[in-house]
Structure 1
């Protein structure tokens, strides 16, 4: 869900039932499954993740966290888990009505892909990695220059973090411009769109 990540567990036999519970009349569109995996001891893994991200928990009685999904995914991948994302996504899609799927697609379309020009970040601006260990220079509406090469901000983030080229992540929380993260700038820019 926008701005929130749910970290939870279920058994393989209960996935379909659990997805139906999650997508009830209490949420506007189906959940987007950022990552699902099979683990040896789901209770232990869930407990560890809830503890690790406890300071980002929205409500002590709920499994929702105000964090980026890739932070959780990176920890799960360190455990060498079996990726089950496609299986869970197919369950979600099979259970959603056409109206649900259209609403989810509309929601995705409302917020455009990150564009530095639209975010009022001029060409040649310098973006700093959150710990100031790296910097990139904006060289196009959707590209930056990092270590002498033009690439996407996602590609630059992967290089800084030492992740493989196909590693899924959202780069905007990692970079800052004039003291604000790119994510904050993006959220402020498109907050009005969400209210329409």
Structure 2
């Protein structure tokens, strides 16, 4: 069944988002949620037109189970950026139009507030973020730069190298070329570290 997976926020509940689905219009669903139980109305952050909406919602909830506030409610402890990134990763396979480069505007909708936030932080793919986290961990334990372990490549060295160069283009990592056939050394930049803090991967109070 087609429908919409939506991400809502309520300014009375900072740091919490509501993620659900509806087979009708998102506006109607928001009106239904605007009851005496909430002090101010919900605001739409993003919505996605998907096939198999209920299954898509269930998969999103499963991915986010560790940050679910209450197992019987659809509220999650996530920043706006984290929510959009994580939900986007899941709904890709459920979008009514599978080619994301040509998704009609009405199939993916992001609020102006979300657009402003996303404009401040360019979202990465899961693979790009994994590499950035690995580099950050190495940096954290005193290794300023290193050559990626070959076990990472898994016979796909060209793909991983391409991801690294994409991160480099965004100034999130830096490359130190070695002479001869030795692999380049890669390190996370200060912008890369700030990115991970911004999206909530690392917390300011972590030692």
Report the TM range for the smaller structure's normalisation.
0.3 to 0.5
- The higher radius of gyration belongs to 2
TM-score using structure 2 length: 0.44
TM-score using structure 1 length: 0.46
